[in-house]
Chains A and B, each alone.
Chain A
Amino acid sequence: MGRSIKDMIADMRSGDQRSLARMITAVENRTQGWVDIMKAVYPLAGSACVMGITGSPGAGKSTLTNRIAKDLVEAGMKVGIIAVDPSSPFTGGALLGDRLRMRDICTLDHVFIRSMATRGVLGGLCQAARDVTRILDASGKDVVLIETVGVGQDEIEVVRASDFVVLVTFPGQGDGIQVIKAGTMEIADLFVVNKADRDGADELLSEICAMLELSCSVRGEIPGVVKTSCITSEGIDDLMKLIYGFVARKRKEPGPAGEHVREEILDLMEREIFRTVRKSFLNNDALARGIDRIVKGKTDPYSVSFELIQAFLMQDEDISRGGTRHG
C-alpha cells in the first residue's frame, strides 16, 4: 500500500478498478491500515442497495445475477457483484468459479465483480461481506449483488449483510420445496423459481405461494414470487420490476437501521477478539503448559480455558487498539 488512502479512494471514485480491488484485498486480508481504510470509506457509503442472491447449487444463481446486473447497467446503474464460494477447510485454498457465468458483463465499465472465499473465518464472513460491500458502495455503485451458495451456515451469514434477499429455486430437485434449507425461507424478500423452461416450475411456484400464505400472518409483508428463465427471458421483466422496487425503497430510506448497526458492532468486536485471542495464544507458554497438564490427566480443557481467559483479560491492551497493530 504505497499510496495514501486518500489518493486511493479518490482514484477508486473516479473509476480506477485497480485501486478499488487493492483496497478490497487490504481490508479482506486485514492488512495493516485496514481500519483506516474503512474509517475513510464509511462516510462515503450507505446509499447502495445491497441484495443477497442465494439458493442451492444448480439453481442458476450466477446466470441470473449476470442477467440482473446487465439489465441494471442498461438502466444506467453501476453494479458491484460479490460472488462467494467456500474455502477448503483442509488446505485453506478455494476454487472460485462464479465468473464463468458472468462473461457478458465482466468488461462493462459499470460492473465490478469480486470473487470471495469464505476463508473459514469464524463469524467473520458476514463482516467481510459488509466491508467489501461498503467499499463498492463508496466507489459509486448503485447496487451491490452478493451471490452465495445457500447450503452452509457461512453462506446464510453473508445475506445478513444485505438489505434484501433473493432466494433462487428451480424445479426438478426432487423434493420440491422441502429442499429449501430451513432458515433461508424466512429471510427471503423475493422468491425466484428459475429455469421455468423446465417441467415442474408451476408446481413449485404454487407450493411456494401456498407456503407464504400460511406464514404471512407472522411476517410483516408477503415476499414477491416470480418465475424466470434466462434462456427464454420469461419473467425477467417481472423480476426486474421487483428489483427496481428494492432499489427505490433503499433510496427512500437510506442509512443504516439501528438494529443492523448493533449487529455489526458485535460482529466486528467478535472478529477482533477472536483474532487477538488466536494471535496471542499462537505461541503461548501458559497454553502449552495447560495442554500438557490435560494430556497427563491432571486437569481438563474447561478449567484451563477459563484460567487462560482470566489471565488474558488482565492484560487487555491489544483489543483496545482497534487491531491496527496486527499485520
Chain B
Amino acid sequence: MKQDEAMGKKEEEIDRSYREWEEGVVKPRIRKFDLKTSPTRFYTPRRDNGHGFLEKVGFPGQYPFTAGNQPFEYWQAFARDAARLGYRPDWGGSGRVGKYGGFGTPADYRDYLLKMHSMGRKGGPNIAFDLPTQCGYDSDSQYCAGEVGRVGVAIDTLEDFGIIYEAYTGEMDIDRVPSNFTINAPAAVIIAMYAVLAKKRGIPLERLEGTPQNDILKEFIARGTYIFPPGPSMRLFRDTCVFCTRSMPSLNINSIGGYHMREAGASRIQDLAFSLANGIAYVEAGLSGGLLVDEFAPKITFNAFGGSMEFYNEIALQRAARRMWAGIMKERFSAKNKRSMQIRQPITAHIGCISTTLNRPLNNLVRAVIGGMAAGMSGSIPGAFPPFDEPLGLGHSQEAVQLQIDATRIMIYEAKVADVCDPWAGSYFMENLTDETEEQALSELRKIDNMGGAVAAVENGYMAKAIARSAYERQKAIENQEEFIVGVNSFTEENEIEVMVNRVVEDTYDQELLQTAEQRQIRNLKAFKRKRSQRSLARALRDMKAKALDDHANLMPSLCDCVESSATLQEICDVLREVFGEAQPVKL
C-alpha cells in the first residue's frame, strides 16, 4: 500500500514535470520558430500508458510474441557456420527454398533449373507463373498475346507442371525439397497438380512441403490478378485449406501479403489492419470447412508487413502485428497451439521497392540498410532489401546483389544488430508507439468487422479505394513537399553528380528462348489437346461443374480428377467462370 502511494506520488511528479517542460521549454520553442506542433516527441515513464511488460511484451517465444516468435531463429543457430562456409542466400529464397523465378515454356525453365543445380544452386522450386497462368488463361487465349512465359513460366496442363519437376528427382525429389507457388486465383488448380504429381510418383501427400501464396483477397485489394468474385474465391480457398490440412498437412496453406498492399499504396495502418482482416477471413473460411482452429492455423503464413523508410514506425509495426495476431487467434478463435498465434513470415521489416528512387540510385543501398536495421531490431534477419538498382527496371546487377548481401552480412556479423532480442522492449517511446500502432489498426479492423469482415470490405471496394486514396495522398504530399525524399523532391542539384558503380546485368534467362516461348508453348498446347482423350475430359469437367454448383462440396478431388484427365487450366477456370461468374474491377 505504501509502495503504491509512493508510486502514485512519483507518477504525479513525472506528470507535473512533463507539463512544466512542455509549457516552459517546448512551447516557447514552437512559438519561436512559428510552428504549429513540435517536430519531435519525447516519452517518459508516465507516457507509456503504464505498459505491462508481462502482458503486453513478454519473452521472445511466448505469448503475445511482441518480443519475437523465438529467442533466436534458425538462421541464428547456424550463423557462424554460414560465415565460415561463405554461405550465399538466393534472391527471394530462404532456407531450403530456391531462387524465386520462372520464364518461358516449362521445358525452358526445367533446363534452366537443371543448369542451376549443376552449379550447386540447389533448393526447392520457387515458381513464378506468367500472367496468363495467374489469370486462369491458357497460352493460346486471345488475352495473352505477348505475355506467355514473360514474368514467369507458362503452365497450361499437368504435363507442363510435370516437365518443370523433371528437374526435381532423386535427392531433390518432392518429398525432399519444398515447393513455393506464387499464385493466387487459380491456386487450387496448381495445388491439385502438385497432389496428382505426387500420386504419380508414388509419394505420400503428407510428405509434401511448401507454400502456395493462395491469398486471393489481396489480389482484389492490391495486385489485380483475380478471376472469380470474392465469395466463390473464398470458397476455393476454403476447399484448399481443408484439402491441405487433411491430405497435405506439411504444406503451408497460404502466405498473406501485407507487402503487396503497401506497394499498392496502403498506409502502415492499412497494411496491418487489412492483412489481419484478411487473415481472420481465411481462418473463418477454414472453420466453415469444418476444421478446428489449431488443426490448420499454424499453416497460415504471412509475407512481410513492411514497406517504408520510417524506422521507428516499422519496428513498432512488427511488434504490434505479432501481438495483435496472437491476441486475435487466442481471444477470437480460442486457439490453444502457440504456433496458431504466431505470425510466420520469411522477411519482416524492410523499406519496400516503393521507397527506392530512380534518381541517385546508389542512395537506395543506404535506404535498404535502414530497413535491414529495423528488421534486425524487430525479430528478424537484418536483410537489406531490395538491391539498389531495383527501380532501374533492368534486373538486378551482380554488383547490386553483392552490395545487398554484404550489407546484410555487415549488419549481422560486424554490427551484431540481431544479437539482442527486441532491443526496444521497455523503451517508453517504443512501447507507446507500439500501442498507438495497435490502437489505430484495431480501430480500422473494427471498421471492417462492422462492414461484415474482409470479404465484404473487398466486395464493396472499401479496401481497394482506401489504398488508392492513400497512394494519391502520398503522391500529393511528395509533390507539395510535405514529405521529403532526398534527391527526388528535395536536395537536388542543377548539375547532378552521378554516383555509380559498374553494373553488369546478366540476362537471367536466355533472351532467344524468351522471344519464341509463346509460339512454342502454343504449339505444345495444340499437340497436347490433339492427343488427349476427349471422353474422360468431358466427364471430369462435367463432374467438377456439378461439385462447383454445390457450395457444400469440396472441389479439390474434382480438380485433381480434371488435371489428371488432361483438362487445361483455362478449361477448368472457364467452367468455374460459368458457375461463379467473373470478378469486376472496383470503380474508384
Contacts and interface: CB of A to CB of B under 8 A. Distances in A.
Interface of A: 58, 62-63, 95, 97-98, 100-101, 230-232
A130 to B, nearest CB: 26
A97 B584 contact: no
Contacts of B460: 58
Interface string B98-130: 000000000000000000000000000000000
A231 B585 contact: no
Contacts of B580: 231
A155 to B, nearest CB: 15
A101 B588 contact: no
A62 B229 CA distance: 16
A62 B581 contact: no
Nearest to B229: A231
> A58, A231, A232 — which one has the most chain B CB atoms within 10 A of its CB?
A231
A230 B587 contact: no
Contact of B581 (A95, A97, A101, A231): A231
Interface residues of B, number: 8
Given A58-B460, A231-B229, A95 B584 contact: no
A231 B228 CA distance: 10
> B229, B581, B585, B588 — which one has the most chain A CB atoms within 10 A of its CB?
B581
B587 A101 contact: yes
Nearest to A63: B584
Nearest to A62: B587
A66 to B, nearest CB: 9
A97 B465 CA distance: 13
B584 A98 contact: no
Main SS of the interface on chain A?
mixed
B581 A232 contact: yes
8 contacts: A58-B460, A95-B588, A97-B587, A97-B588, A101-B585, A101-B587, A231-B229, A231-B581
B585 A100 contact: yes
A58 B459 CA distance: 10
B393 to A, nearest CB: 27
Contacts of A62: 587
Interface string B552-588: 0000000000000000000000000000110011011
Contacts of A58: 460
Contacts of B585: 100-101
A82 B506 CA distance: 51
A62 B460 CA distance: 15
A99 to B, nearest CB: 10
Contacts of A232: 581
A6 to B, nearest CB: 39
> B580, B581, B587, B588 — which one has the most chain A CB atoms within 10 A of its CB?
B587
Contacts of B229: 231
Given A62-B587, A97-B588, A98-B587, 15 more contacts: A58-B460, A63-B584, A95-B588, A97-B587, A100-B584, A100-B585, A100-B587, A101-B584, A101-B585, A101-B587, A230-B581, A231-B229, A231-B580, A231-B581, A232-B581
Contacts of B584: 63, 100-101
Nearest to B579: A232
A100 B582 CA distance: 13
A100 B587 CA distance: 7
B369 to A, nearest CB: 39
- Nearest 6 pairs of A and B residues by beta carbon: A231-B581, A97-B587, A100-B585, A100-B587, A97-B588, A101-B584
A230 B581 CA distance: 8
Contacts of B581: 230-232
A95 B585 CA distance: 15
A62 B586 CA distance: 11
Contacts of A231: 229, 580-581
A62 B584 CA distance: 10
Nearest to A195: B459
Nearest to A100: B585
Nearest to A231: B581
Nearest to B461: A58
A305 B334 CA distance: 72
Contacts of A230: 581
Nearest to A97: B587
Contacts of B588: 95, 97
Nearest to B587: A97
B227 to A, nearest CB: 13
A163 B413 CA distance: 77
A23 B565 CA distance: 55
A206 to B, nearest CB: 23
Nearest to A104: B582
Nearest to A85: B587
Contacts of A63: 584
B468 to A, nearest CB: 11
B252 to A, nearest CB: 31
B472 to A, nearest CB: 11
B195 to A, nearest CB: 29
B534 to A, nearest CB: 27
A98 B581 CA distance: 19
Nearest to A230: B581
A232 B584 CA distance: 14
A157 B173 CA distance: 68
A100 B588 CA distance: 10
A100 B580 CA distance: 20
B202 to A, nearest CB: 41
A232 B580 CA distance: 7
B140 to A, nearest CB: 19
B506 to A, nearest CB: 39
A231 B230 CA distance: 12
Nearest to A103: B585
A95 B469 CA distance: 13
A172 B450 CA distance: 13
A262 B91 CA distance: 73
A230 to B, nearest CB: 7
B443 to A, nearest CB: 22
Interface string B526-566: 00000000000000000000000000000000000000000
B551 to A, nearest CB: 11
A231 B584 CA distance: 10
A97 B460 CA distance: 16
A168 to B, nearest CB: 14
B372 to A, nearest CB: 39
Contacts of A100: 584-585, 587
